[in-house]
Protein backbone atom coordinates (compact mmCIF):
# COMPACT_ATOMS: atom_id res chain seq x y z
CA UNK A 1 0.00 0.00 0.00
CA UNK A 2 1.30 3.44 -0.95
CA UNK A 3 2.13 5.96 1.76
CA UNK A 4 0.90 9.52 1.73
CA UNK A 5 3.21 12.45 1.06
CA UNK A 6 2.52 15.49 3.22
CA UNK A 7 4.26 18.88 3.28
CA UNK A 8 4.86 20.56 6.63
CA UNK A 9 2.97 23.85 7.02
CA UNK A 10 4.30 26.36 9.55
CA UNK A 11 2.07 28.21 12.01
CA UNK A 12 2.11 31.28 9.75
CA UNK A 13 0.82 29.19 6.85
CA UNK A 14 4.12 29.01 4.95
CA UNK A 15 5.11 25.65 3.45
CA UNK A 16 8.94 25.64 3.56
CA UNK A 17 9.40 22.97 0.93
CA UNK A 18 7.16 24.79 -1.55
CA UNK A 19 9.48 27.76 -1.80
CA UNK A 20 12.49 25.50 -2.07
CA UNK A 21 10.97 23.40 -4.87
CA UNK A 22 9.86 26.46 -6.79
CA UNK A 23 13.44 27.76 -6.69
CA UNK A 24 14.89 24.54 -8.09
CA UNK A 25 15.59 24.08 -11.81
CA UNK A 26 12.66 22.26 -13.39
CA UNK A 27 14.61 19.04 -14.05
CA UNK A 28 15.84 18.91 -10.46
CA UNK A 29 12.30 19.46 -9.20
CA UNK A 30 11.12 16.61 -11.43
CA UNK A 31 13.83 14.29 -10.06
CA UNK A 32 13.13 15.15 -6.43
CA UNK A 33 9.39 14.61 -6.78
CA UNK A 34 9.90 11.40 -8.77
CA UNK A 35 12.03 9.95 -5.95
CA UNK A 36 9.43 10.95 -3.36
CA UNK A 37 6.67 9.22 -5.34
CA UNK A 38 8.84 6.15 -5.89
CA UNK A 39 9.45 5.78 -2.14
CA UNK A 40 5.79 6.43 -1.29
CA UNK A 41 4.71 3.76 -3.79
CA UNK A 42 7.01 1.11 -2.30
CA UNK A 43 7.55 2.34 1.24
CA UNK A 44 10.10 1.06 3.77
CA UNK A 45 11.19 -1.59 4.51
CA UNK A 46 11.06 -2.29 0.75
CA UNK A 47 13.96 -1.02 -1.31
CA UNK A 48 12.88 2.03 -3.30
CA UNK A 49 14.17 5.40 -4.36
CA UNK A 50 16.88 3.81 -6.50
CA UNK A 51 19.65 4.97 -4.18
CA UNK A 52 18.51 8.58 -4.15
CA UNK A 53 16.64 8.16 -0.87
CA UNK A 54 18.84 7.78 2.16
CA UNK A 55 18.68 7.83 5.92
CA UNK A 56 20.78 10.63 7.37
CA UNK A 57 23.13 10.00 10.27
CA UNK A 58 24.83 11.67 13.20
CA UNK A 59 22.94 14.71 14.46
CA UNK A 60 20.38 14.12 11.67
CA UNK A 61 19.54 10.58 12.76
CA UNK A 62 15.82 9.91 12.27
CA UNK A 63 15.63 12.07 9.15
CA UNK A 64 15.71 10.96 5.52
CA UNK A 65 16.83 12.83 2.45
CA UNK A 66 15.96 12.79 -1.21
CA UNK A 67 19.02 13.58 -3.31
CA UNK A 68 19.31 15.10 -6.75
CA UNK A 69 22.08 16.71 -8.73
CA UNK A 70 21.59 19.81 -10.83
CA UNK A 71 23.57 21.89 -13.33
CA UNK A 72 27.26 22.28 -12.42
CA UNK A 73 26.87 19.28 -10.10
CA UNK A 74 25.00 21.42 -7.59
CA UNK A 75 23.45 19.18 -4.93
CA UNK A 76 19.79 19.41 -3.93
CA UNK A 77 18.23 17.73 -0.91
CA UNK A 78 14.73 17.34 0.50
CA UNK A 79 14.53 16.49 4.21
CA UNK A 80 11.79 14.18 5.42
CA UNK A 81 10.48 12.30 8.43
CA UNK A 82 8.63 9.00 8.25
CA UNK A 83 5.26 8.81 9.97
CA UNK A 84 4.43 5.18 10.69
CA UNK A 85 2.47 3.94 13.69
CA UNK A 86 -0.67 2.04 14.64
CA UNK A 87 -3.77 3.31 12.78
CA UNK A 88 -5.22 4.83 15.95
CA UNK A 89 -2.03 6.80 16.61
CA UNK A 90 -1.87 7.98 12.99
CA UNK A 91 -5.49 9.17 13.26
CA UNK A 92 -4.55 11.06 16.41
CA UNK A 93 -1.82 12.77 14.37
CA UNK A 94 -4.44 13.70 11.77
CA UNK A 95 -3.00 11.32 9.17
CA UNK A 96 -5.08 8.85 7.20
CA UNK A 97 -2.18 6.38 7.03
CA UNK A 98 1.61 6.09 7.09
CA UNK A 99 3.21 9.09 5.41
CA UNK A 100 6.40 10.76 4.29
CA UNK A 101 6.41 14.22 5.84
CA UNK A 102 8.51 16.61 3.76
CA UNK A 103 9.95 19.40 5.89
CA UNK A 104 12.26 21.50 3.76
CA UNK A 105 15.01 21.45 1.18
CA UNK A 106 18.55 22.75 0.83
CA UNK A 107 21.09 23.07 -1.95
CA UNK A 108 24.89 23.18 -1.89
CA UNK A 109 27.80 23.32 -4.31
CA UNK A 110 29.50 20.11 -5.39
CA UNK A 111 32.00 18.73 -2.84
CA UNK A 112 30.85 21.02 -0.04
CA UNK A 113 28.96 20.08 3.10
CA UNK A 114 26.01 21.58 4.88
CA UNK A 115 26.94 23.27 8.13
CA UNK A 116 25.65 22.22 11.53
CA UNK A 117 23.62 25.47 11.50
CA UNK A 118 21.95 24.30 8.25
CA UNK A 119 21.06 20.99 9.87
CA UNK A 120 19.83 22.77 13.00
CA UNK A 121 17.34 24.69 10.86
CA UNK A 122 16.03 21.41 9.43
CA UNK A 123 15.78 19.87 12.90
CA UNK A 124 13.98 22.95 14.20
CA UNK A 125 11.33 22.44 11.50
CA UNK A 126 11.24 18.73 12.32
CA UNK A 127 10.75 19.44 16.01
CA UNK A 128 8.01 21.98 15.26
CA UNK A 129 6.28 19.46 13.01
CA UNK A 130 6.46 16.64 15.55
CA UNK A 131 5.37 18.87 18.42
CA UNK A 132 2.00 19.55 16.81
CA UNK A 133 -0.85 17.05 17.07
CA UNK A 134 -2.69 16.80 14.82
CA UNK A 135 0.14 17.49 12.41
CA UNK A 136 0.10 20.78 10.55
CA UNK A 137 0.34 19.95 6.83
CA UNK A 138 -0.44 21.77 3.59
CA UNK A 139 -3.91 21.03 2.28
CA UNK B 1 -3.75 13.82 2.66
CA UNK B 2 -1.67 13.41 -0.47
CA UNK B 3 -3.94 15.81 -2.32
CA UNK B 4 -1.63 18.82 -1.98
CA UNK B 5 1.38 16.86 -3.27
CA UNK B 6 -0.68 15.20 -6.01
CA UNK B 7 -2.03 18.57 -7.10
CA UNK B 8 1.48 19.98 -7.25
CA UNK B 9 2.81 17.06 -9.33
CA UNK B 10 -0.25 17.15 -11.62
CA UNK B 11 0.27 20.88 -12.24
CA UNK B 12 3.99 20.38 -12.92
CA UNK B 13 3.22 17.58 -15.39
CA UNK B 14 1.66 20.19 -17.68
CA UNK B 15 5.24 21.28 -18.39
CA UNK B 16 6.72 18.86 -20.99
CA UNK B 17 10.26 19.35 -19.62
CA UNK B 18 9.11 18.37 -16.11
CA UNK B 19 7.06 15.44 -17.39
CA UNK B 20 9.96 14.06 -19.47
CA UNK B 21 12.41 14.23 -16.56
CA UNK B 22 9.89 12.91 -14.01
CA UNK B 23 9.03 9.89 -16.16
CA UNK B 24 12.67 9.26 -17.08
CA UNK B 25 13.64 9.33 -13.40
CA UNK B 26 10.82 6.97 -12.41
CA UNK B 27 11.99 4.47 -15.07
CA UNK B 28 15.60 4.73 -13.88
CA UNK B 29 14.63 4.26 -10.22
CA UNK B 30 12.47 1.26 -11.13
CA UNK B 31 15.49 -0.44 -12.68
CA UNK B 32 17.75 0.08 -9.66
CA UNK B 33 14.94 -1.02 -7.35
CA UNK B 34 14.38 -4.16 -9.45
CA UNK B 35 18.06 -5.16 -9.19
CA UNK B 36 18.16 -4.79 -5.41
CA UNK B 37 14.82 -6.55 -4.92
CA UNK B 38 15.92 -9.41 -7.21
CA UNK B 39 19.06 -9.82 -5.08
CA UNK B 40 16.94 -9.87 -1.93
CA UNK B 41 14.72 -12.56 -3.44
CA UNK B 42 17.76 -14.67 -4.38
CA UNK B 43 19.08 -14.24 -0.84
CA UNK B 44 15.74 -15.39 0.51
CA UNK B 45 15.63 -18.40 -1.85
CA UNK B 46 19.16 -19.33 -0.76
CA UNK B 47 17.94 -19.30 2.84
CA UNK B 48 20.61 -16.77 3.80
CA UNK B 49 20.09 -14.03 6.32
CA UNK B 50 21.38 -10.57 5.45
CA UNK B 51 24.17 -11.20 7.95
CA UNK B 52 25.14 -14.40 6.14
CA UNK B 53 25.21 -12.62 2.78
CA UNK B 54 27.34 -9.89 4.35
CA UNK B 55 29.79 -12.53 5.62
CA UNK B 56 29.98 -14.10 2.16
CA UNK B 57 31.07 -10.82 0.56
CA UNK B 58 33.24 -9.62 3.43
CA UNK B 59 31.01 -6.72 4.49
CA UNK B 60 29.52 -5.99 7.88
CA UNK B 61 25.90 -7.06 8.24
CA UNK B 62 24.62 -3.55 9.08
CA UNK B 63 25.82 -2.23 5.72
CA UNK B 64 24.03 -5.01 3.81
CA UNK B 65 20.89 -4.57 5.92
CA UNK B 66 20.90 -0.83 5.18
CA UNK B 67 21.36 -1.50 1.48
CA UNK B 68 18.23 -3.68 1.30
CA UNK B 69 16.15 -1.05 3.04
CA UNK B 70 17.26 1.81 0.77
CA UNK B 71 19.08 3.61 3.55
CA UNK B 72 22.27 3.86 1.52
CA UNK B 73 23.08 4.30 -2.14
CA UNK B 74 23.98 0.83 -3.44
CA UNK B 75 27.51 0.66 -4.82
CA UNK B 76 27.86 -1.28 -8.05
CA UNK B 77 30.80 -3.22 -6.63
CA UNK B 78 28.74 -4.38 -3.64
CA UNK B 79 25.80 -5.27 -5.87
CA UNK B 80 28.08 -7.28 -8.17
CA UNK B 81 29.70 -9.03 -5.19
CA UNK B 82 26.30 -9.97 -3.77
CA UNK B 83 25.14 -11.25 -7.15
CA UNK B 84 28.25 -13.39 -7.49
CA UNK B 85 27.88 -14.78 -3.96
CA UNK B 86 24.29 -15.73 -4.80
CA UNK B 87 25.31 -17.45 -8.03
CA UNK B 88 23.94 -14.67 -10.25
CA UNK B 89 25.39 -11.89 -12.37
CA UNK B 90 24.57 -8.33 -13.33
CA UNK B 91 23.91 -7.77 -17.02
CA UNK B 92 23.15 -4.78 -19.17
CA UNK B 93 20.56 -5.59 -21.80
CA UNK B 94 20.40 -3.29 -24.81
CA UNK B 95 16.75 -2.75 -25.68
CA UNK B 96 17.70 -1.55 -29.15
CA UNK B 97 19.82 -4.65 -29.81
CA UNK B 98 17.13 -6.95 -28.37
CA UNK B 99 14.53 -5.32 -30.65
CA UNK B 100 16.86 -5.68 -33.67
CA UNK B 101 17.47 -9.36 -32.90
CA UNK B 102 13.80 -10.01 -32.35
CA UNK B 103 13.00 -8.42 -35.76
CA UNK B 104 15.77 -10.50 -37.36
CA UNK B 105 14.41 -13.75 -35.87
CA UNK B 106 10.89 -12.85 -37.00
CA UNK B 107 12.19 -12.23 -40.53
CA UNK B 108 13.99 -15.61 -40.59
CA UNK B 109 10.87 -17.40 -39.33
pLDDT value at position B1? 53
Q: What are phi and psi of A56, to 5 degrees?
A: -95, 160
The fold of B3-108 is 434 Repressor (Amino-terminal Domain) (1.10.260)
B3 and chain A in contact, CB less than 8 A: yes
Considering only CB atoms, A34 lies closest to which of B29, B36, B40, namely: B29
Report which of residues A85 and B97 the model is more confident about: A85
pLDDT tens for residues B44-100? 999 999 999 999 999 999 888 888 887 778 889 999 999 999 999 998 888 888 888
Q: What is the dihedral of CA A124, A126, A130, A132, to 10 degrees?
A: 60
Distance CA A68, CA A74 (A): 9
What is the overall mean pLDDT for chain A?
A: 95
ipTM over 0.90: yes
A99 and B1 within 8 Å at the Cβ level: the answer is yes
* Residues in Cβ contact with B9 at an 8 Å cutoff, skipping those fewer than 6 apart: A33, A37, B22
pTM above 0.95, yes or no: no
Give which of A51, A77, A82, A94 to mutate to test B binding, by max B Cβ within 10 Å. A51
Q: Residue A121: pLDDT above 80?
A: yes
Query: Is residue A17 within 8 Å of residue A137, measured between CB atoms?
Result: no
B29 and chain A in contact, CB less than 8 A: yes
B75 and chain A in contact, CB less than 8 A: no
Amino acid sequence: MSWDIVYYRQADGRVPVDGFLTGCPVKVRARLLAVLDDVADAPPPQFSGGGRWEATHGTMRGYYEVRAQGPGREQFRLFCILENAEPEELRRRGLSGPAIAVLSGMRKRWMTTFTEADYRRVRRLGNEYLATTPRRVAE
Amino acid sequence: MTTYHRRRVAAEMEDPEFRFEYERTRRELAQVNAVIRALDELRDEAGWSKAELARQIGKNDASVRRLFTAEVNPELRTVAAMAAALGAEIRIVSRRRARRESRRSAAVA
